[in-house]
Amino acid sequence: MSSAAQWPSDEADVFAGDGEVGRDLAKVDWASTPLGDPALWPQSLRTAVSILLSSRFPMWMAWGPELTFFCNAAYRRDTLGRKYPWALGRPASEVWAEIWPDIGPRIDRVLTTGVATWDTALLLFLERSGYREESYHTFSYSPLRNDDNALIGMLCVVSEDTDRVVGERRMTTLRDLGSDPSVVRTEEEMVTFAGRQLGHNDLDLPFTAIYLLDGDGSARLAAAAGITAGHSAAPSTILAHESTPVWPVAALARGESPLVPLDGAPFGDLPTGAWSQPPTQALLVPLLQQGDTPYGFLVAGLNRYRPLDDGYRGFVELAAGHVAAGIASARSYQAQQQRAEELAEIDRAKTAFFSNISHEFRTPLTLIMGPLDELRSRLGDTDEGVREELQVMHRNGLRLGKLVNALLDFSRIEAGRMQAHYEPVDLAAVTADLASVFRSAVERAGLTFEVDCQPLPEPVYIDRGMWERSS
């Protein structure tokens, strides 16, 4: 101590060259603190302050019987907030009074044992921005010793993890909302799924409610998380013409996103989510659809310990976007299902029509084929020309009968009861026989009819009826 007191005053200025923080430290009335005049500080304190101020990593330190507070520019920027420059030279227990129950025992342990501490992403509620703020910090408290090697203070090297921790949990919520719920099909199932995923993040969303708009402008509660359906802040229905609705449905129908203060009736006894106190604000976001009135809106109770900045608002709006996309998908699926049912009904009517008309064709065809067969048997070989004409009529009658059967087969195919019956045949001969049905009509038109089907080396397995219908 005596050697430090003999130094020239310009060498005793330990705050020189550190910009604004150094200048503000120099302005502190150190004589009124237990540390006294900086010109008389021991070398160990001067060295600790010099290391602190020259570091670009956020650091603060406490020294002496009252653990007098020092910090550097990086710590001021990242953590201290509105407490600067008031905090400089004050007891650390005053500077961080709101978190002293958390950090005080850690500091005592360092001063007692001389062993450094380590905490990763520790939740601390700081009051650095005018309100009690949720924040996360990874830090180490290291012991500081005086010139006599006695434990005299501590140095904190800290990294704030608030943005990372909050960002990760919000991304988890958005990821879960956007996951592929393979069983979610109906609109009701979709909003129930979305409400369940939103309910998993009761830190950022202490409570949520999804309302869907009806054609008359009323809103009905489709899903809720963190709050009981029927609660005064989550009524099952909000009528279109209510004079004082719980939530401003008219503004939401216009696509606005109002911020609603949660004070007074009907916002008593609100749920708190993961916190000890209920939210003080709720953000309402419309569930937008392309070029039309919104599907509805999302009510999101907000974490009272985080500011509604662009990141927070963007998170709620993205969550609402996922819900809106899910509703659009569910309604599209429902429309497709309805269309598929309509097409199935048309197919059933078509099948019934072909089945009925086939039976109607059979009756007159039977009445034609019967007399034709009798006429063929009577004429015998008396008139070769007439006999050939009758033969052509007979073959065409048989073909017409096969076409009628084909209509019945179509009905069987529609019902899934059609089966092919394969047999080995001389494909050239069968094809030539089918083509001969058209010979008389072709020759009457003055045309030459030739069938050129070269014999195949071996029989081919076909269903005769299907081959005839495809020829």
The structure tokens listed for 2 are: 């005596």
Helical ranges in 380-423 per DSSP H: 384-415
Closest residue by Cα to residue 270 from 303, 222, 312, 307? 303
If you search the block for the tokens 């603060």, which residue do you land on?
Answer: 60
Lowest-pLDDT choice from 134-143, 192-201, 412-421: 412-421
Q: Are 72 and 52 in contact (CB under 8 A)?
A: yes
Buried b (16+ CB within 10 A) or exposed e, 375-411: eeeeeeeeeeeeeeebeebebebeeebeebebbbbbb
> Does this chain's domain 2-160 share its CATH topology with 167-333?
yes
- More confident call, 337 vs 211: 211
Fold entry, domain 167-333: Beta-Lactamase (3.30.450)
The structure tokens listed for 114 are: 């001389």
Burial of 194 (0-12, 13-18, 19+ CB in 10 A): buried
Which whole number is the average pLDDT over 391-407?
73
Q: Are 280 and 233 in contact (CB under 8 A)?
A: no
pTM for the model: 0.72
Residue boundaries of the structural domains of the chain: 2-160, 167-333, 420-471
Q: Are 327 and 187 in contact (CB under 8 A)?
A: yes
Helix (H, G, I), strand (E, B) or coil at 416: coil
If you search the block for the tokens 């006599």, which residue do you land on?
Answer: 148
Which whole number is the average pLDDT over 92-98?
97
State residue 407's pLDDT score: 66
Query: Into which CATH architecture does domain 2-160 fall?
Result: 2-Layer Sandwich (3.30)
Q: Are 304 and 279 in contact (CB under 8 A)?
A: yes
pLDDT at 70 over 80: yes
pLDDT at 3 over 50: no
Phi-psi group of 262: left, alpha or beta (phi > 0 → left; psi -120 to 50 → alpha; rest → beta): beta
What is the identity of the amino acid at 32?
S
